[in-house]
Amino acid sequence: MALIRSGEAGPSVVGTSEFDILKSSHKFLREDDDVDERQLSWDERLAKKYYSSLYREYAVCDLKHYKSGNFALRWRTEEEVLSGAGETTCGNTRCPLHKEVLEEDIDIRPALSTLEVPFSYIEHGESKFALVKLVLCPKCVKKLMYKRNKEKERARKREERAGSSTHPEQDDDEGGQRRRRHHSRNGDSDEDEDRRKSKERRHSRERSRHDSERYSERYPGHKRKRNSRSRSPRR
């Protein structure tokens, strides 16, 4: 056995604080309300006493890692309940609207939404699930739903790409129909142009004949001179 000389300090003993006990024994939801406290250890009784002091109607959250879909939840303390934090203010502890709102600022505060959030968590190595009520502002609601909305958007894009790749023949047929309609319209326009020109030539011949008849009636015995374009070549 080692002896400690007088004047030398012995090995320091690190004590366990109540905070350390609460960290190791605390549970988000306890199921031992009907259990006799005499059957519980001192650590369990301390954690249960702290749990009974919490107000579990509304929770507050930390959305620091909202893009990964991970967020932290805890129940409100008595001080938060008395101030209305998490019930009359935004439940995100990092949100500027989480603080108590002054009466003169109530009219400019955005509307808050009450949500029942499915919360999956691991506690003491065991997977658990709970439905928790949160009060959030519109900006924090978007943060809470960020990952889920992104997954829906990616799934929709995958479905659109899969749908376009599974019907290439239909796309080719539709493209061919569009090209045929385009050629048909061009063909129709060419035929219309030919008919228009033929009609103009016919009307021109009729006007020329009509003018010749009028000239003969007005100047009988005279022949109408031809213009240079219609003159026959000399022999």
Confidence at residue 99, expressed as pLDDT on a 0 to 100 scale: 84
Higher pLDDT: 125 or 185? It is 125
Evaluate the CA torsion angle 121, 126, 130, 135 in order and state its sign.
negative
Q: Where are the domains positioned within the chain?
A: 54-165, 176-214
Section 184-206 average pLDDT: 70
CB neighbour list of residue 99: distance below 8 Å, 6 or more residues apart: 85, 89
**Is 0.85 topped by the overall pTM?**
no
User: How would you class 164 by CB atoms within 10 Å of its CB: exposed for 0-12, middle for 13-18, buried for 19 or more?
Assistant: exposed
Question: Per-residue pLDDT for 178 more than 50?
Answer: yes
The CA distance from 24 to 233, in Å, is: 121
Question: Per-residue pLDDT for 33 more than 70?
Answer: no
The CA distance from 208 to 203, in Å, is: 9
- Is 86 strand, coil or helix? coil
The residues that bridge with 136 in the sheet, in sequence order, are 113
**Which amino acid is located at 45 in the chain?**
R
The CA distance from 76 to 54, in Å, is: 6
User: How would you class 63 by CB atoms within 10 Å of its CB: exposed for 0-12, middle for 13-18, buried for 19 or more?
Assistant: buried
Q: Could you give the maximum distance between any two Cα atoms of the chain, in Å?
A: 162
Question: Per-residue pLDDT for 61 more than 70?
Answer: yes
Residue 29 DSSP code: S
- Is 203 strand, coil or helix? helix
The CA distance from 180 to 128, in Å, is: 63
Lowest-pLDDT range of 52-61, 178-187, 194-203:
178-187
Query: pLDDT grade, residue 144 (50/70/90)?
Result: very high
- Is 136 strand, coil or helix? strand
